[in-house]
Chains A and B, each alone.
Chain A
Amino acid sequence: MVRIAVALAYRQLTHRGAKLVGALMGVSVAIILMFTQLGFQGALYDSAVSATRAFNADIILTSKEFQTMAFPWPWMPMHLLYDAREVQGVASASPFYATTLQVTNPADGRNLTSWLFAFDPESPVFGNSDINSQIGTIRLSDTAIIDRNSRNQIGLIAAKVHQTGRVDVELPAAVRSIQPVLKLEGTFHIGPTINVDGNIITSDLNYYRLLGVPLDRVSLGIVRVAKGADPVAVQHALEQRLGTQARVFLKQGFIRNEMNFYARDTPIGFIFDAGLLVGVIVGIVFISQVLHGIVSDNMREYATLRAMGYKQVFFLILVSAIAVAIALITYIPSSIVSYFVYDLAASATKLPMVMKPSYMIEVFLLVVTMGMVATFLSTKKLKQADPVDLF
């Protein structure tokens, strides 16, 4: 019975031919919208943790008051890291400094905002080889490297650094004569966050020299566990030791904490979910439109089949097969188009827009759900196919 229903669904669908094009395009737009929403949402979350992901860390220590990297980070005292190093299973506990930094755009004299990350060149915190190969560069005084994925004006500076090997930028100060100058002499890849266009990395000493912030005020503690040690056990041990003065995250936990902040504590999660919902609704509307058209046009045929003894479940399978077919027909080209939309968006925003298998699956399931909802909405119409009306 299912086979017959599906075969008839195929026939009725193909029989409509060009009539379908408009509605199929509508469904495609809805699917692309859904992909875009998911892509931007994911890119936003991912961009917030792209630096964190780059840490060569098992455990991350923060001050007790730390909530999210999105707010100015409350610092923690350096001695906590010394304490951490004494905990069993800890191989290293390195300080990491981070702050947003104003630099003057050499092109037009306006101020630009970038992240400034700093660490002790003796104990690097990032895992990226392009950063670690330039430790020698950042050791030099007032010298730093810049993220080639930086966006907008900072992106232009980074490109210039890449081309010419060096760009000097001034840090704005009240009196021009004491304005420090930062020498950008290399590039790396991490990627900007949504609100800050670029990343600059330098040594802890340069950080102190440029900003005057005591190095005792650590932003994060980057902990590596000893070979063979269980990170979770070490996390517990660290909590025992530092629990009253620091928060102890596993690296994944820290990333999750960050993402949850955006998803729950900012309207961003809601905004993209709402966008996704709009996509789903638009999709349902278009699929329903196709189903409604097919059901209305074939009312007599369905009534005839009912007169022959076909039951309601046959029509439900028939219509859901049509709905799922529409979903599948549109899903594949739409995901290909979305792939290019991602590409375009990624190069425009420098955000990590990548088509992930999880999006493919999520959108696919949503599309099938759209088909099912549209089927459900068409059942009332289907029931109107009454063989008595054939007489």
Chain B
Amino acid sequence: MGAALPPAAAGGMPAINESALISAVDVCQHFGEGDARTQILFDVCIDVVPGQLVIMTGPSGSGKTTLLTLLGALRSGQTGRLRVLGRDLIGMDDVGLTEMRRNIGFIFQLHNLIDSLSAISNVMMSTNLTDLPKPEARRRGVALLERLGLGHRIEYKPSALSGGQRQRVAVARALVNRPRLILADEPTAALDGKSSVEVVGLLQELAVADQASVLMVTHDNRILDKADRIVSMVDGRIVSDVMVKEQVLICEMLRKIEFFAALGTAELSQIAEKMRPRRFQKGDVLVRQGEMGDKFYLLRDGQVDVMVTDNQGEKRVATLEAGNYFGERSLITGEVRNATVVGGGTGTAYTLDKPAFDAALSATPTLKEQLQKGYFSR
């Protein structure tokens, strides 16, 4: 699992994330005109960084398909900011949108292959849009189909393939140009369980592992465990955005912290959900001595140096590593920070703001008292 994290959007205005494949800020979309005008998307913000398999769920009518078609440059966006693969989609003309799509792989609920073309010709309908020389394109298409277990079906037309095989051809067609972004709409809806897991596994193996990202609308809970991240939408709003795998990691780290150790898994994951990643470089100051504390930090990766300044000047008192935490004391005691914490290299820390931290502690009141007693007595 790479360091695929959402941006530090917890506080302040959300901003366009330049390193993300998708960065949507306050995207709203309406359908219809006049009295019939209804809003489908409400201030949707989402960033998708490279190397994620994002599953988007939600009841039908929640706007997830609308969002998918917006991200895929399949319809023109109305308001907000929407950057996909480095280009602003809102306000882009039809020709621009059409050209934009060439950089995105699409997989549909139905395979949508061209009936009159063989598997390899279908795959090459994608490469035809690139400058790739035909023999090279064909070689690549064949290799991909072989990789997908269709080496013996290359010249077969869709009518001679099974449902799973057709969808695998569709996957090959979406992947052959090695797009950095793949959008899929219920790609497993027409497949049996085995084929579903297989197809998603292949997406993960062939795209996500290569730092591409897959955004998949699905209700298929057979494949939920493959997701790096699950985004839920209800009534045109993103109601939850969970980094599933990251979540597990944070919970494991939290569990090892003595004052959270007493909490159950449910409470831990609630805390984890509220934590926001903060990336830092060498020299970045995370906590400054003498300032009021407003966040609790859990170091996910990288290392930080803890510096204390006294009469003799500044000196390093400790170096913290992944799994270590800091910044809790000031939150508990209400005093100023007693040390400065500086990044010792590139890394990520998860932060929990004071209200959430307090809420977590109050989940076990006795623990809170003990802790407070302990810190005040020092």
Contacts and interface: CB of A to CB of B under 8 A. Distances in A.
Q: Do A and B bind each other?
A: yes
Contact of B69 (A14, A300, A309, A388): A388
B72 interface: yes
A388 B68 CA distance: 10
Contacts of B106: 304, 307-308, 387
User: Which residue, of B75, B99, B100, B128, has the highest number of chain A Cβ atoms within 10 A?
Assistant: B128
A300 B101 CA distance: 17
Interface stretch (A4-12, A198-206, A212-220): A4-12
A388 B75 contact: yes
A300 B128 CA distance: 19
Contacts of A387: 69, 72, 74, 101, 106
Contacts of A82: none
Nearest to A302: B114
Nearest to A9: B116
Contacts of A311: 95, 98
Interface string B323-338: 0000000000000000
A174 B210 CA distance: 110
B109 to A, nearest CB: 7
A270 interface: no
Interface string A352-391: 0000000000000000000000000000000000011011
B65 interface: yes
B368 interface: no
Contact of A301 (B98, B115, B185): B115
B116 A15 contact: yes
Interface string A1-29: 10010001001101100000000000000
Contact of A4 (B65, B74, B128, B185): B128
User: Which residue, of A303, A304, A310, has the highest number of chain B Cβ atoms within 10 A?
Assistant: A304
Given A15-B116, A306-B98, A309-B129, A391 B110 contact: no
A305 B125 contact: yes
Q: For the side of the interface on B, what is the size category?
A: 20 to 34
Nearest to B69: A388
A308 B115 contact: no
Contacts of A388: 69, 74-75
B55 to A, nearest CB: 16
B126 interface: yes
Contact of B112 (A1, A14, A15, A300): A300
A308 B126 contact: yes
B357 interface: no
A319 to B, nearest CB: 14
Contact of A391 (B69, B114, B126): B69
B114 A301 contact: yes
Nearest to A12: B116
B116 A308 contact: no
B95 A391 contact: no
A15 B75 contact: no
B125 A308 contact: yes
B69 to A, nearest CB: 5
Contact of A304 (B102, B112, B116): B112
Interface in B99-145: 99-102, 106, 108-110, 112-117, 121, 125-126, 128-129
Nearest to B72: A307
A306 B71 CA distance: 15
Contact of A300 (B72, B110, B185): B110
A7 B288 CA distance: 68
A386 B160 CA distance: 27
A8 B101 contact: no
A275 B5 CA distance: 73
B95 A14 contact: no
Given A15-B116, A301-B114, A309 B98 contact: yes
Contacts of A308: 101-102, 106, 125-126, 129, 173
A309 to B, nearest CB: 3
A301 B121 CA distance: 13
Nearest to A309: B102
B117 to A, nearest CB: 6
B116 A391 contact: no
Interface string A59-80: 0000000000000000000000
Contacts of A304: 106, 108, 112, 114
User: Which residue, of A11, A15, A307, has the highest number of chain B Cβ atoms within 10 A?
Assistant: A307
User: Which residue, of A303, A310, A391, has the highest number of chain B Cβ atoms within 10 A?
Assistant: A391
Contacts of B98: 306, 309-311
A109 B197 CA distance: 98
A1 B108 CA distance: 24
Nearest to A4: B128
A14 B129 contact: no
Contacts of A14: 116
Contacts of B173: 308
Given A308-B101, A388-B69, A15 B115 contact: yes
Contacts of B117: 8, 11
Interface in A267-308: 298, 300-301, 303-308
Contacts of A12: 114, 116
A293 B113 CA distance: 18
A304 B113 CA distance: 8
Contacts of A300: 110, 112
A289 B109 CA distance: 30
Nearest to A301: B114
A248 to B, nearest CB: 64
A171 to B, nearest CB: 73
Contacts of B102: 308-309
Given A14-B116, A308-B106, A391 B68 contact: yes
A301 B126 CA distance: 13
A390 B115 CA distance: 16
B134 to A, nearest CB: 10
A88 to B, nearest CB: 71
Interface string A307-340: 1111100000000000000000000000000000
A4 B75 CA distance: 26
B108 A8 contact: no
21 contacts: A4-B128, A8-B114, A8-B117, A8-B125, A11-B116, A11-B117, A11-B121, A14-B116, A15-B115, A301-B112, A301-B115, A304-B112, A305-B114, A307-B101, A308-B102, A308-B173, A309-B99, A309-B100, A310-B98, A388-B74, A391-B68
Given A308-B173, A311-B95, 14 more contacts: A11-B116, A15-B115, A298-B114, A298-B115, A300-B112, A301-B113, A301-B115, A304-B108, A304-B114, A307-B106, A308-B101, A310-B129, A387-B101, A391-B185
Closest 8 CB pairs of A and B: A309-B102, A15-B116, A11-B116, A304-B112, A309-B101, A391-B65, A387-B74, A301-B114
